[in-house]
Structure 1
């Protein structure tokens, strides 16, 4: 099965290529393109592959532009760092939506879906436009995000605006640190639950134990092994957060949005 990669981060493209080889060595990567422009040229000069692995946000636009120009009939597996609420739209159409860093088990399942489509239905045409319309957030059902949290301090509840939160940490309990340096316990069982209530454009899951507000970032320093060290603005400048090598590319893209 031939596959095309649409990914603008070279390191991520290399890691995805290696992951695909580990999960299914029979897949042949016939091309890797990193922008809308180069992808359009590739489709104009090459036959359609059996499956496409496509990031959504590229260096010169979004990958949906490519599918507007060319009628793609092969399965498309979207890979992205952004957890949008419309991802379930892909499930009913036989396409998967993988969040970076890509999990091998999820990758294996996605490839199995694509292979089943190409084998049993002889490249059954997929309604790409329907997928794109499903991804577009309807005006009547835009996702709503949390605006305030109640923090627990000395048996008292303190309302805190989300915009005033510098970061949210997990250390046995979940607690938030405000831009003013105040700390409050949050009455939520998991950090995953809290993350689902926050705007992903404003808060980034820096690690299993930390969510950080983009407006609270003071600086980012490169470390050994391609890791990053994130430092928050004063008075929280002593709070240092490690960004793993795997998360570094998506974190950089998040900062540049």
Structure 2
């Protein structure tokens, strides 16, 4: 049985992967995605898995909207921090839920139910509005919720860093975040696209394929030849120059003037 995990907290996804391996070693995790945007791209590029584990609240919206876009037939197990009053919201065909932190016995029961449902294939009937009402979620829950902290890895230690304290994020074989005080931490995410989806676009801009910058870290902008721009960051990161291509220059100027 192949399973996909939709979870925006990297450590939670790793813990769930390990728990699944302990409870049912026959399940193969074929992917882990951390946002609505990356999940939609995953489903567009890959065959439907046999089972989905999905957090409800993701960095850029709620996972319910993913299942409105695609006509899925596989069972879905929602992993959620909502209390038990939410049980009735999941009493529809093909849906189960697990409360965080995930209990192994409950995980085993949910997987057993999923296996039985895979023998009865059929289109899932997910009423997003009904689910939201049962969970007492307002329509604003559909709006993106952005990260407030990242966990950075430095010398095998995890360090919480406020988003507001990040000057820029860059890709150099691994993904790094650099703080306003020039501290550098590894970010445990596979791509900059995934990280970008978790950041408020009013505050952060994808300056290039390899760099995302915080608007509050920009000291000045210098014009270059061919209508390119060069960003000078505030000290102590002022020696790190970032070039903006001619194609990106107009959108960057609009972003900077917001």
Report the TM-score, using the length of structure 2 for normalisation: 0.50
Would the aligned equivalents of 2:56 and 2:80 in 1 still touch at CA under 8 Å? Answer: yes
Report whether the alignment pairs 1:93 with 2:64.
no
- Once the two structures are TM-superposed, the CA of residue 83 in structure 1 deviates from its matched residue by 1.9
Q: Distance in 2 between matches of 1:84 and 1:25?
A: 28
Judge conservation of contact 2:71–2:123 (CA < 8 Å) in 1.
Answer: no
1:78 is matched with which residue? Answer: 78
Q: Which residue of 1 aligns with 2:30?
A: 30
Map 1:137-152 → 2, pairs under 5 A = 137=133
Indicate how the Cα distance of structure 1 residues 48 and 94 shifts in structure 2: closer, same or farther if over 3 A, else same: closer
Shift in alpha-carbon separation, 1:38–1:17, aligned structure 2, 3 A? same
Aligned length: 142
Aligned residue for 2:53? 53
How far apart, in 1, do the equivalents of 2:9 and 2:19 lie? 15
Partner of 1:44: 44
Distance between the aligned counterparts of 1:142 and 1:34, measured in 2?
24
- Give me the whole-angstrom Cα distance separating, in 2, the residues matched to 1:99 and 1:5: 15
**Mapped partners of 2:42, 2:20: distance in 1:** 21
Deviation at 1:133, TM superposition (A): 3.6
Shift, 1:76, TM fit? 0.5
Deviations 1:25-73 (A, max 9, x none): 0000001000011000000000100110000000111101211211221
Aligned counterparts of 1:94 and 1:72: Cα–Cα separation in 2: 10
| Cα pair 2:36 2:58 within 8 Å, conserved | yes
| Bigger mean CA offset, 3-12 vs 61-70 | 61-70
After superposition, the Cα gap between the structure-2 partners of 1:22 and 1:65, relative to the gap in structure 1 and judged at 3 Å, is: same
Q: Residue in 2 aligned with 1:136?
A: 132
Partner of 1:109: 109
CA distance in 2, matches of 1:54, 1:136: 15
CA shift, 1:142, in A, is 6.1
How far apart are residue 124 of structure 1 and its match? 2.8
- What is the root-mean-square deviation in Å for CA atoms of aligned residues? 2.6
Please tell me whether residue 126 in structure 1 is matched to residue 124 in structure 2: yes
- Structure 1 distance, partners of 2:81, 2:17, is 17
Instruction: Please list every run of at least 4 consecutive aligned residues from structure 1 whose deviation after the TM superposition is greater than 3 angstroms.
Output: none
Name the CA shift for 1:94/1:43 in 2 (closer, same or farther; >3 Å): closer
SS of residue matched to 2:95:
coil
Corresponding residue for 2:250?
A: none
Supply the distance in 2 between the matched residues of 1:87 and 1:6 (Cα, whole angstroms): 20
TM-score (norm 1): 0.50
